[in-house]
Structure 1
Amino acid sequence: MKIISVEAFPFSLPSRRDFRWAGMLGQLGNFVAVRITTENGVTGYGEATPLPDWGGDFARHGGETIGTVINMVTTVIGPALIGQDVTAVTRAAQIMDRVAVGNVYAKCAVSIALYDAWGKCAGLPVYKLLGGQVRDSVPVAHMVGLMPEEDALEEAIAAIDDGVSCLQIKGGTDAARDIRLIGVLRKRLGDDITLRLDANQGYGHAKSAMETVRRLVEAGVSMVEQPSEGLRYMAEVTASSSVPVIADESCWDVNDALDVVSTRAADCISVYLAKAGGISGACKVADVAEASLIPCDVNGSIESAIGTAANVHFALARPAVSLGAVIAISGPAGRHPYRVAGHYYDDDILTEPMQVSNGSILPLDAPGLGITVDEEKLAAFRCDK
C-alpha cells in the first residue's frame, strides 16, 4: 500500500453562468487535481479550489493560488509522502503539518486523494471509513451568486422548481438590494423555503450589521451567513439576531471552532474540507460543533466532481452536518439531473452523473470517492498542456 507517486496539475471546467460573491475577483471553475498512485496500482484523486482573494478574518488564513498548491504538492508535501502507507491518513496528516505550515488547500487535495485510495484498497466508500452514514442523503442549498436582482430571482425560482428547498443568496455589497431581494423571494416562494443570505463579511461593524440583519429578518430571511468580520463583532450580531447566524470566514479549523464556541460568535458553522486542511481536519471541526450542539453545513468554492464527492461522503458521516450543503451536483455534459439546482458547470470529469432525489444527493457507494474519473476528459480540461 506504499505511495510511489504524487502528481498535481491544473484543470478548468466551463461554467453554466457567472457565479460570484462579495470580494471575489476571479472566476469559479479553476482547480488543482492531485493524483496519488500506490505500488499495487491503486490511484486516488484529490482536488483543491484555491482563491487568492478569499480567506479568514483579518487575512489570517487563505491566499493560496493554483500555482502555490501545485508547487507545494510537487516539491514539499508529495516527496515527504513517498514510501508511506496510503491508508495511514492520520500519519500522513502529521507529516504534511510537519513539512508545511498552513497551505491548507494543498493539504486538502492530498487528503482527499489519500482517502480515495484508502477506500479503493479497502473496497469501501469513504463515508464508511468515516464511521458510516448517519443520513440517507445530502440536501443541497443552491448558491445564487451576486447578479442583478431580476437574474437572481430567476435563478432562485428555477432552482426551487428543480426540487431544492434551500437557497444561499450571495450579498454583502449593497444591503438595500439584499433586503429587497429577500423580501421578493419570500413572497414568491412562501414560508417553507430556507433563504440563507451570505454577506461574506460585507455588513461592516457590529451596529451596522445588526441593523441590516434586523431588516433582513423583517423581509423574511431564514439565516444570515458571516455578516461581519471577526469574532467580537460576530458575537454581538449573533446575540442580537432572532435568526441563526453562520460562521464561515471566522471558522477554518478546529482551533477556530473552539474559539467560535467559547465566544458564542455564531449559532452555526460552515465547514470546508479545504479550510480545515482535509477530511480529518473537517471531521474535528464538525465533532466540536456536535459536542457544542451547533449545526453545520458543508460548503466550499463549488468543486468539480472530485471535491464534491468528498463533500458528500463527509456530510453523510457527520451528525452535525445537518444544514443544506452549498455544493455542486456533478454530472457530465448533457446529463446533469437538474436544469439549475446544483448545476454550476456545463461539463464535469466523472463518467456518470450523481444520483439525486428531491434536491438531495444520494450516497456514492462505490469504493473510495464513489465516482469514476473520466481520464480523457480530465486530460482535455488540463490547463498546463
Structure 2
Amino acid sequence: MKIISIEAYPFSLPTRRDFRWAGMLGQLGNFVVVRVETEGGVVGYGEATPLPDWGGDFGRHAGETIGTVITMIRTVFAPALIGTDVTAVTQAASIMDRVAVGNVYAKCALSIALYDAWGKSVGLPVYKLLGGAVRASVPVAHMVGLMPEKEALDEATLAVEDGVRALQIKGGVDAERDIRLVAALRTQFGEGIALRLDANQGYGHAKNAIAIVRRLVDAGVSLVEQPSEGVRYMADVTAASAVPIVADESCWDIHDAVDVLHARAADCISIYLAKAGGFSGACKVADLADAAMVRCDVNGSIESAIGTAANVHFALARPAVSLPAVITISAPAGRHPYRVAGHYYDDDILTEPMQVQDGAILPLDAPGLGISIDEDKLQAFRCDK
C-alpha cells in the first residue's frame, strides 16, 4: 500500500450566511483538499481550513494560509511521503515533523487523507482504527456568530427548534452585548440549553475578564471559552469562575495541554485536529485530558464534509470528547436535515447528507471517513482553475 501521488488544491463552498468571530478578517468556506493515492488505487481525502489571522496565545501557533498549505504539501511533505506505506500513520507523522517545523494545518490534512486511505484499504471506518466508538453519536453545538442581537436570537431560536441542545455564542468584542444576549437566550430557552460564550481572548486582562465572567454567570451562561490570552491569565479566571472555563487558543498540542493542566488554566479543552497536526496529536491531547478528568470537545473552523467527517470519527472514539461539538452537519444542496443547526454551507462535496438524530451526528460506518466525495462537484468548487 505504497503512496504513489499526493495532490493539494483549493476549493470554496457557498455559505448560508455571514459567520464571524472576534479577530476574524476573512471569510469561512475556503479550504485545501488533499488527495492521496496508493499503488492499489485507493484514494484518501484530507482537508485543511487555514486562517492566517487566527492562532495560539501571543502568536505562538498557526499563521498558515491556503497558499502556504498547498506549497508545503507539494514541495516538502509529498516528496517525503511518496513511496511510504499509507497505513504507517505514526511513521508519517514523524516524517512530517522531521522535514518541517510547525505547519500543523498542512500536516493535519495529510493525516486525515492517510487515515481515510488506510480505512478504505482494510474496510473499516476511521473511528475503529482509533480504537472504536465510546458513544452512539456526536452532539452538535450550533455556532451563533458575531451578529446583531436580534439576528443572533433568531439564529439561536431556529437552531434549538431544529433539535440541538447546545449553542456556542461568539462574543469578545462588546461585553455588554454578550451579557445581554446570554440573558435573553437564557430567558428564551430556560435551563435545558447549554450556552457557551466564546470570547476568543477578547476580555483582556484577568481582572477585567473575571468581572465579565461573573456577570455572564449571573446572566445564565453555562461555560465560557477563552476569555483571556495566556495560561497565566486563564488560570486566574478559571480559579475565580463559578462555571467551567474552556481553553481553545491556549491549547494546541500535547505540550500546551501539559502547561494548561499544570497551571489549572482551564476546566475543559477544545481540541482541533488541525491544532494538533492531525489524528495522532489530537488523540494525545484527548487521552491526557481523560487521565486528568478534564472534559473536551472537538472544534474547528467550520470544515467541509471531509474535515467534518474526521471530527466525527475522532469524537466517537475518544472518551474525553464529551462536550457538544462545534462542527458542521454536512449535506449536499437542498438535502440538509436542518434549517439552521449545523447548517453553515448551502452545498457541500459529499453525495449523501450526514445522518442526524436529536441534534447529534450518527456514526459514519462506511470504510475510511465514511463519506462519498462528489468529484465533479469538488472540481466545480475548485478555485485555482
Q: TM-score range by the shorter chain?
A: over 0.9
The residue type paired with residue 73 of structure 2 is V
Equivalent residue, structure 1, for 2:353 = 353
Query: Which residue number in structure 2 is paired with residue 102 of structure 1?
Result: 102
Segments of 5+ residues of structure 1 without an aligned counterpart are: none
The CA distance in 1 between the partners of 2:79 and 2:328, in whole Å, is: 32
Any residues of structure 2 matched to 1:1-385 within 5 Å, and which?
1-385=1-385
Q: In 2, distance between residues paired with 1:62 and 1:156?
A: 30
Amino-acid identity (%) = 79
CA distance in 2, matches of 1:234, 1:258: 14
| Cα displacement string for residues 22-68 of structure 1 (whole angstroms, at most 9, x for unaligned residues) | 00000000000000000000000000000000000000001000000
Deviation of 1:287 after TM superposition, in Å, equals 0.4
Give distance in 2, aligned partners of 1:214 and 1:181: 15
Provide the rounded CA distance (Å) in 1 between the counterparts of 2:189 and 2:17. 23
How much does 1:150 deviate? 0.4
Please state whether the residue corresponding to 2:345 is helix, strand or coil: coil
Query: Which residue identity is paired with 2:3?
Result: I
SS at match of 2:7: strand
Q: Distance in 2 between matches of 1:20 and 1:70?
A: 24
Partners of 2:124 and 2:278 lie apart in 1 by: 19
The 3-state SS of whatever aligns with 2:286 is helix
Query: Secondary structure of the equivalent of 2:297?
Result: strand
Aligned residue for 1:191, secondary structure, equals helix
CA distance in structure 2 between the aligned counterparts of 1:52 and 1:352, rounded to whole angstroms? 31
What's the offset of the Cα at 1:280?
0.8
CA distance in 1, matches of 2:122, 2:215: 52
Tell me the SS of whatever aligns to 2:45. strand
- Residue 256 of structure 1 and its aligned partner are, at CA, apart by 0.4
Q: State the TM-score, normalized to the length of structure 1.
A: 1.00
Aligned-residue offset at 1:107: 0.1
Equivalent AA in structure 2 for residue 136 of structure 1? A
**C-alpha displacement of 1:355:** 0.2
1:291-349 deviation line (CA, Å, top 9, x unaligned): 00000000000000000000000000000000000000000000001000000000000
CA distance in structure 1 between the partners assigned to 2:228 and 2:315 by the alignment: 26
Residue 127 (structure 1) shift:
0.1
Q: Secondary structure at the match of 1:203?
A: coil
Once residues 176 and 269 of structure 1 are traced to their aligned partners in structure 2, the CA distance between those partners, rounded to angstroms, is 26
Tell me the alpha carbon deviations over residues 78-123 of structure 1, each in whole angstroms, 9 at most, x when there is no partner.
1100100000000000000000100000000000000000000010
Counterpart of 1:361 in structure 2: which amino acid?
I
Which runs of no fewer than 5 residues in structure 2 stay unpaired?
none
What TM-score do you get using the length of structure 2 for normalisation?
1.00
